[in-house]
Chain A
Amino acid sequence: MVTVLLLLLPVAGALLLLPLKGEKAKQFALITALIQLLVTAYAWSGITDYSKVNFLFDASWIPSMGVHFKVGMDGLSFMLVLLTNLLVPFIIASTQSEKFKKASSFYALILLMQSAMLGVFTALDGFAFYIFWELALIPIFFILLIWGGENRVKVTTKFFIYTIAGSIFMLIGLITLYLNAPERSWDIANLYQANLDADTQCMVFWFIFLAFAIKIPIFPFHTWQPSTYTQAPAAGTMVLSGIMLKMGIYSLFRWLLPVAPQAVADYSQLIMILAIVGVIYASWIAMQQRDLKTLLAYSSMAHVGLIAAGAFSGQLIGIQGAMYQMFSHGIIVVGLFIGVDIIERRTNLRDITLLGGIRNTAPWFSAFFLIIVLGSIALPITSGFVGEIMLLLGIFLHNQWMAAVAGVSVILGAVYMLRMYQKAILGPENETNGSFKDLTTSEMLLIVPIVLLILGLGVYPKPILDLTESIATNFLIK
């Protein structure tokens, strides 16, 4: 029941806050998200075995098609539930309610999205999974369209059509699985047993992969991403990069790798190459970007490409690294975008060539932002390092040359992130910025926990690693 409670709480919160206005709506949404986090913590204490499904809820939904509303959490699902419920309070708290017309709708949509994404992470029924997958798209669509930047209509349309196109292919793939499964049921265990001949397996594999590849995104299915991240309101970018792209990676593990083992074996190599090409490609492009959000979008694409390569490495270390890095990347990328949002709020600028001189008057902001940047370039004792070293080692054990190429991103990452930090934060006083105010107390409350999480999980990542260890191990046994 806890799983269902987690799915319903944000929906209830969203409905209840609709009549509220402005700051009140934000506060209500924040309280809802914090309660949700408490429930998650409570659920964590109740989980005894991460390798099994906990808090299973199974009810018949559409009997004629064998659709069940079946949700539950094993370690991997729970890790993403934890990530989602951990990040949403930060995302809500980072917003400024007065910036939004119809603030209540905005917060309601964020909460609805939270619920839909949790559905994706907990669904154990193919049909329910698909419904949640599509449901998650609707709130972000409106968030982009209503509260986005100047180019929002064009960018949103592209994002939407691109993603929908992917989903349609995934739907066909899932239906094929369903039709070839031993029983007329969408139950995940039943779908896993679908008996596919080689050609069908290949088709199913690529159809489902396409949806995930667009969502993650994997090169060359990524071109919707930089413009969307740039045009979305800050909170929308955080949701997209921190949580939503993890839907794609998570689903690789849950809905793709287990259903088409032969195709996975055949095409892993190719996908790893695509992913690693994307890592270098995105890093290289990031070197010359001027818009902070675009730059971070490419940076995020580079990191996520590495996660995808690790996921397909067929190595325990790579798989465990991919799972861990989902969590770490989520925290770091939200931290980065919070930093960018603070800069943009103070200066109305995102162009790093116009920024600079922030360090002079805002030492705390600069110090914390630096730590987050260092997490992003995987400096040891940040959470990013633990994930990246496991991913690179996993890739290395698969193929050492691939690891050598992917490893170049370690250098390029330092190049573009330090360039960004230098141009945006350091340097002489900048007249266009005026004097940049240092963090307010409420901003401190926002950024310090993120910094502590990055450092804490860098020194002691065990609590998160434990969540997925048995899942990653079982994964290879299968």
Chain B
Amino acid sequence: MNMYTIFHQISGNALLLVLIPLLPLIGFFINGIFGKSLSKTLSGAIGTLTVAISFIIALTLFWGLDASFSPFVVNLFEWFSVGTFKVSMGFQYDQLSALMLLIITGVGTLIHLYSSGYMHNDDGFQRFFAYLNLFIFFMLVLVLGSNFLVSFIGWEGVGLCSYLLIGFWFKNPAYNDAAKKAFVMNRIGDLGFLIAVFMIFFQFNSINYIDVMESAKGMASNSPILIAITLLLFVGATGKSAQLPLYTWLPDAMAGPTPVSALIHAATMVTAGIFLVVRSNVLFSLAPYTSEIVAIVGLITALFAASIGLRQNDIKKVLAYSTVSQLGYMFVALGVGAYSTAMFHVTTHAFFKALLFLGSGSVIHAMSGEQDIRFMGGLKKKLPITHITFLIGTLAIAGLPPFAGFFSKDEILAKVFMHNPIMFWALAFTSALTAFYMFRLYFLTFHGNFRGTEKQAHHLHESPLSMTLPLMVLAVASTLGGFLGMPAIMSNYNGFESYLSPIVSPSHGEHPSHMFEYTMMGVSVILLFIIIGYTRNRFATKQVIPVDVSEESGFAKTLANKYWVDEIYDTIIVKPMLFISQKLHQFFELQVIDGAVNGIGRLTNYGSQALRLIQTGNTGMYLIFMVVSIVLILLFNIIS
């Protein structure tokens, strides 16, 4: 029955495992406490190296890990316990956490390195590295947790770091608003997570992943409690992974420095919701009802965000809506039970979306802070490395073979087709939109004539090696990453799926016919070339420049204004909340409740007109009266 080994004492591998999150934490303390007295070079080196060493350790542990490996749990100490509610500070190492460790520390290292160049002129350099390291620590705790609450430490911890980094330039009130919005919207999801944990404890009398999944396996499908648990976990996921209706914080989160957008708001943190569902996939598999909702919400989000992306002119906003849309893809995959496919897309997306964000950072860097693509254009000559790598990222997300996004997206589409053809067509349409807005972005930024100011033109330059090196590494990963999980028709063996097979229940096994799949690939590639040709003609050759939001009309106006969702939330939620708050205080609190209290007091006053003579107004006298009365009451009792 001993399914897993518990390392009670710190043995070799357990020690290594603990070091992985510990090193970035140490980096945080060094940069956080002594930051001001460290040189930027040293500070950046400490921040980058701690994560890099963690990556090497994660790689060492990963070596030789295959499907036959059984998970091991390291219990550090008992966090707290009451009765049967026992929560240990424990880490779980298995195929899923191993994969996430590699993504977080691998992409994390590159983004730390990039930041040492990108943030070089910022006064808050050391503070930035402290926050980044703290983020890596919490993210690692999230994926390593052996029970729901340890993961919750990471879950809220990354939310905190996101808050700190969105509001990194804390003098700007708008950025602080964006930071607060992100935290609060995440908290809405977190409440769902917490109540799900309560229900899990109520149902399974444990919150350890291994125990819960083991005991859930015997349960009937679609039992109400499982539906409730999974729905609530999904509410948590919609907050962290920016799905409808809780997605609006993510575009605003672009207020943070660009490496933050790449690391937190694209590659790692926002995929935590997907991770959580995969971690609990046993429960979700037993709740087809919830899974259907997950797929539908994911689909609508994917389509909705992609359509908004068509009409955005801020380079980071386009990428942000693209991220929301791609996360929607992953949820569709989760909803149709293709858990390993979703993780596959998490992996490839981490490569190409980090690449695109870092590329946009390089562009913004070169453009002296400009983010509006209407004022860019023709950057490919001045920024050759950024241009090529950005193009690779664009091809990867658009799904051109053999770039990484092609394989993972194609697999999602195939799985969705077997589930529901209507969903398939909607998602395929979303893919076309994705290709459109990405190439619109690409051509407007890198082709045509330069539309910026004279001063910007003079200042244009390729970024330093610390920034271009991560771009090149990620470009290679975005090119080759897809071969980690070749689809069934191209190879007899899907390495990715079989690697994750101990974690996720095998997907339904049915594949569309080879004929269909080849047709689909063929059509999508042809369609892609048509879109590229059209966008090139429109935005590069003819140089049609998008108009300002205020000049848009018709449906385009709705898109440019993001369907007015923020305004709607503000009108139907935020304003009424504040209005009620004010009324509660001014009317109910001060007039009703306090009025009643004062009324009773006054009533007593009127009633005691006769006793007025002893009302001297001297509180000392009252005290004496009080003590005397007490004594009198007691005496009375004794005598009676």
Contacts and interface: CB of A to CB of B under 8 A. Distances in A.
A374 B598 CA distance: 36
A406 to B, nearest CB: 10
Query: What's the dominant secondary structure at chain A's contact region?
Result: helix
Given A288-B582, A403-B195, A141 B201 contact: no
A316 to B, nearest CB: 5
Given A426-B170, A462-B78, A469-B82, A171 B630 contact: yes
A422 B180 contact: yes
Contact of B83 (A316, A411, A422, A460): A316
Contact of A407 (B172, B194, B630): B194
Contacts of A410: 187, 190-191, 194
By size class, the interface of chain A is 35 or more
A132 B78 CA distance: 38
Given A175-B637, A223-B594, A427-B176, A288 B198 contact: no
B80 to A, nearest CB: 5
B4 interface: no
B585 interface: yes
B584 A415 contact: no
B85 interface: yes
A179 B149 CA distance: 50
A316 B86 CA distance: 13
Interface in B594-630: 594, 597-598, 601, 619, 623, 626, 630
Contacts of B85: 317, 390, 393
B634 interface: yes
B184 interface: yes
B: interface residue count bin: 35 or more
Interface string B579-595: 01110110001000110
Given A284-B580, A407-B191, A426-B167, A223 B184 contact: no
Interface in B147-206: 149, 152-153, 156-157, 160, 163, 167, 170-173, 176-177, 180, 183-184, 187-188, 190-191, 194-195, 198-199, 201-202
A157 B619 contact: yes
A162 B187 contact: no
Contacts of B170: 359, 426-427
A390 B187 CA distance: 18
Interface string A316-329: 11001100000000
A393 B201 contact: yes
B578 interface: yes
A407 B195 contact: yes
A374 B138 CA distance: 15
B198 A396 contact: yes
A427 B167 CA distance: 10
B633 A386 contact: no
A453 interface: no
Contacts of B184: 411, 414-415, 418
Contacts of A472: 82
A389 interface: yes
B537 to A, nearest CB: 46
A-B pairs with lowest CB-CB distance, top 10: A380-B153, A223-B594, A396-B198, A288-B581, A287-B581, A426-B170, A320-B82, A414-B187, A428-B171, A285-B585
Interface of A: 64-65, 134, 138, 141, 145, 157-158, 160-162, 164, 171, 175, 178-179, 220, 223-224, 281, 284-285, 287-289, 316-317, 320-321, 357, 359-360, 363, 374, 379-381, 386, 389-390, 392-393, 396-397, 400, 403-404, 407-408, 410-411, 414-415, 418-419, 422, 426-429, 459-462, 465, 469, 472-473
